[in-house]
Structure 1
């Protein structure tokens, strides 16, 4: 192979290290490439000498290629991140304008009816209007919480301040929050606590269970077990399952609801936020078709140290 071809290959390797890893790695690869080229392919062979201007130019070329490539890569990554943030903001605005309109309209309608016709309404009708407005308010609150968490996840700002957290309390609060007979929870753990960020973990589990209740008319079963290393949370519904057995699509940001779903669809944030929160806790979340229905499996490490 011509010497020029070998030189280009080594320079390409240095540039690749700068692109794939970091500027320092690229510069290190450039230095190694330059020294290797000088040692193996320049006269006198098998010695490292800079006796002529060509050797100095080769060394400088390696360094310049690695530096310029790393600078270009850094600039490109910043532009891509800015583009993702802008796209996310546009998606949020579009989803907010479309999906948050329904609960807001319901709340406003109920309150206006109560205000205008309060004297003509039966007590049961007043109670129904207030109950409906309260339910839609909770739905709106959940949407906004998910939007805030999604924004933090996309901008790498989600930090889980982990402390000892009571497992049974999490699921007791969850049961009270949903207040439905369709939810059955079995907590069978040997250790009563887990190191976690309780508000974030509650939000993640809430999103998963809320999703299961929407897509199933039957009971939703939650089983919680643990080992010395992991806490396992299984959420099982008997709904319509996932089309084409696509277990990744529901985790995508702003993914659309399943066709033929039961109940009201969301804005496509719940499971994406849940995955972000679980990942922040160094855990995993998986979705499986079970025919009928779906099963979500959450695995969380039980041996993490509290955040300092």
Structure 2
């Protein structure tokens, strides 16, 4: 709100000054009616940039400028006729109309975005919950069937299905909670000097990932728990896209970078800007998840003062680079 007021004030001052510099030398060639209409432009621009109260101030200022520079007797302030009052009223009405229209349009966009996110959330959750629940139900029903004599290997496979499905549901809930904390600005960050090689090793210890992060990297300033979530989400997405994934690390100026690299189908360059938005499944878990993984990667990374970028892997695939400040 405050920044909008400052922006509107700058627009008002610049607009009124520019209009006066252009029109004042042409005073004898341009009618007063035309001058009055032309000063509506900076008033409307101020309303669009700064909101209602700044626009009302610009309307009063525009009326004073017109009165001082263009209404006889020149270079004096005074109400020479009812026309001066009418001009002020018109300026203020335009300011109110434009400011209200801009605010209404902005609110409509916000509501449309909320509705889109709600619809996407309901669709995704209904799909992503249904699948593991169906797996758990089917496995449990089979295990409880008294007419079936299951071999130990079959029982183990069914129990593994229950465990995997439960893990999927747990990950879903964790991602939703993480997104809600990010949206509410309630994410607690406890940054400390962190060894990136150790953080990566803790995540990929049981995964088929080629860990090439050198152990002599400078320490990064990061929250260890959030960093591991970032790495885990990136690795999960990469493994869903390609069987071969490797992670590298390097120092880059005042930052330390991690790169999660796969040789999968990749993401078109024009769509990479959308990858890190909630419920966008571009490059996120092979398009089968909620589309929250990369949104959480960006949110957690930025909360730690870092950056995240996606680029094409040479030869094909996707490379996601996470940059964190040096400790």
What's the TM-score once normalised by structure 2's chain length?
A: 0.75
Tell me whether 1:210 sits opposite 2:239 in the alignment: no
Q: Is the 8 A contact 1:222 1:235 kept in 2?
A: yes
Q: Which residues of 2 match residues 260-271 of structure 1 at below 5 A?
A: 265-271=288-294
Query: Which residues in structure 2 correspond to 1:245-256 (within 5 Å)?
Result: 246-256=271-281
CA offsets 1:219-238 (integer angstroms, 9 cap, x no match): 3324264643x332211112
Larger radius of gyration between Structure 1 and Structure 2:
2
- Please give the alpha-carbon distance, in whole angstroms, between the structure 2 residues aligned to 1:264 and 1:67: 46
Larger RCO of the pair (alpha carbons < 8 Å, separation 6+): 1
Q: CA deviation at 1:199?
A: 4.7
Q: Matches of 1:189 and 1:204 in 2, distance apart?
A: 18
2:207 paired residue among 162, 170, 180 = 180
The reply to whether residue 164 of structure 1 matches residue 188 of structure 2 is no
1:237: which partner in 2? 262
Contact between 1:215 and 1:262, CA under 8 Å: does it hold in 2? Answer: yes
Distance 1:67 1:129, change over 3 A: same
Matched pairs, number = 294
Equivalent runs, 1:1-308 vs 2, <5 Å: 1-116=30-145, 120-150=149-179, 156-165=183-192, 167-168=194-195, 170-176=199-205, 179-184=206-211, 186=213, 188-191=216-219, 193-196=220-223, 199-223=225-249, 225=251, 227-228=253-254, 230-243=255-268, 246-256=271-281, 265-290=288-313, 291-302=315-326
Give the distance between the partners of 1:262 and 1:99, measured in 2 at CA.
12
Deviations 1:162-217 (A, max 9, x none): 322453364344235xx2132425154323x5254x55444333322211111111
Post-superposition Cα deviations, 1:25-71, rounded to whole Å, max 9, x if no partner, equal: 32343333223222222222233333433223323332332234323
Distance in 2, Cα, partners of 1:189 & 1:208: 20
Using the alignment, how far apart are the partners of 1:245 and 1:49 within structure 2?
58
Change (3 A) 1:162 1:249: closer
3-state SS in 2 of match to 1:49: coil
The gaps in structure 1 that reach 5 residues or longer are 304-308
SS of the residue 1:251 aligns to? coil
User: What residue number does 2:4 align with?
Assistant: none
2: CA distance, partners of 1:289 / 1:224 = 18
TM-score, structure 1 as length reference: 0.79
Q: CA deviation at 1:271?
A: 1.7
CA RMSD of aligned residues (A): 3.2
Q: Say which SS state the counterpart of residue 39 (structure 2) adopts.
A: helix
Distance 1:4 1:231 in 2: 63
CA distance in 2, matches of 1:266, 1:31: 55
**1:232 to 1:118, Cα distance in 2 relative to 1, 3 A:** farther
CA deviation vs aligned residue, 1:243-302 (integer Å, no higher than 9, x gap): 4664234334433456xx996732322223323333444533211112222111122345
The gaps in structure 2 that reach 5 residues or longer are 1-29
Secondary structure of the corresponding residue to residue 247 of structure 1: helix
Secondary structure class of the residue paired with 2:260: strand
Would you say the 8 A contact 2:247–2:258 is kept in 1? no
Question: Per the alignment, do residues 227 and 217 of structure 1 end up closer, same or farther by CA in structure 2, a change over 3 Å counting?
Answer: same
